[in-house]
Amino acid sequence: MLRSAILRRVTRLSMVLPVAMTLSGVTLVSFSPARAALPLGSTAPLFEAPASLGGKQFGFSLAEALHKGPVVLYFYPAAFTRGCTIEAHDFADAMDQFKALGATVIGISMDKIETLDRFSVSECRSRFPVASDPAGKIASSYDSKMPLLHYASRTSYVIAPDGHILYAYSAMAPDGHISGTLAALRAWKTATTPTHP
């Protein structure tokens, strides 16, 4: 399949520099200046985690979310820190665009769920949920845990409904995470929307 061939070629390239490949309107991008992220085309590890939306706790399941459409999964170091607050505000401001593309957004940190209850209201503005990964198991499974530190790295993924990773971006600055995930979703939507003669 053409998509598989593209993904194989992209994952062979260095994960140190930005990689972009466009073919038939589909752009696959991976950028990881500090560390590797899961390879494009690989299967996203399924997980369940306690989450909070608007201060209300619930159980988030990646498998259930993928039944509804693509998922933007982003890891961030810690609630209420400067960069994580900026990123949460930016995701909240862009939620109408994510919803228009049929995407679910979920943020994950190693914070306690009680901290995320507050963060989901004040910084996420009750627009999208954040999940708690206190032991770092989910972050580790996504190659998004900082070595020797009890924090997740700032890494964003777009996961297709079939569970494959379409996009990965890892950079400690919050800039680029929202625009990159939106661009990847738009490319996916264009590639999967049937054209009529």
Instruction: Of 149, 148, 141, 136, give the one whose Cα is nearest residue 110.
Output: 136
Predicted local confidence at residue 18, as pLDDT = 36
Predicted local confidence at residue 26, as pLDDT = 39
CATH for 42-192 (2.40.50.140, 3.40.30.10, 3.30.70.1140, 3.40.50.1220): 3.40.30.10
- With beta carbons less than 8 A apart as the criterion, state whether 109 and 133 touch: yes
| Domain-wise residue ranges, the chain | 42-192
Sheet holding 71-75, edge to edge: 19-23, 26-31, 165-170, 155-159, 71-75, 104-109, 130-132, 48-53, 56-61
Predicted local confidence at residue 193, as pLDDT = 84
Rounded distance, CA 64 to CA 87, Å?
A: 25
* Distinct helix (H) and strand (E) counts, the chain: 7, 9
Predicted local confidence at residue 196, as pLDDT = 65
| Burial of residue 169, with CB atoms counted within 10 A of its CB: 0-12 exposed, 13-18 middle, 19 or more buried | buried
Predicted local confidence at residue 32, as pLDDT = 37
Predicted local confidence at residue 197, as pLDDT = 64
- Average pLDDT across each block of 10 residues of the chain; the chain has 197 residues. List them in order: 36 31 35 60 97 98 98 97 96 98 98 98 98 96 90 96 96 93 95 78
Answering whether pTM is above 0.95, one says no
Rounded distance, CA 117 to CA 114, Å?
A: 5
Residues marked active site are found at 84
Q: Can you tell me whether residue 181 is helix, strand or coil?
A: helix
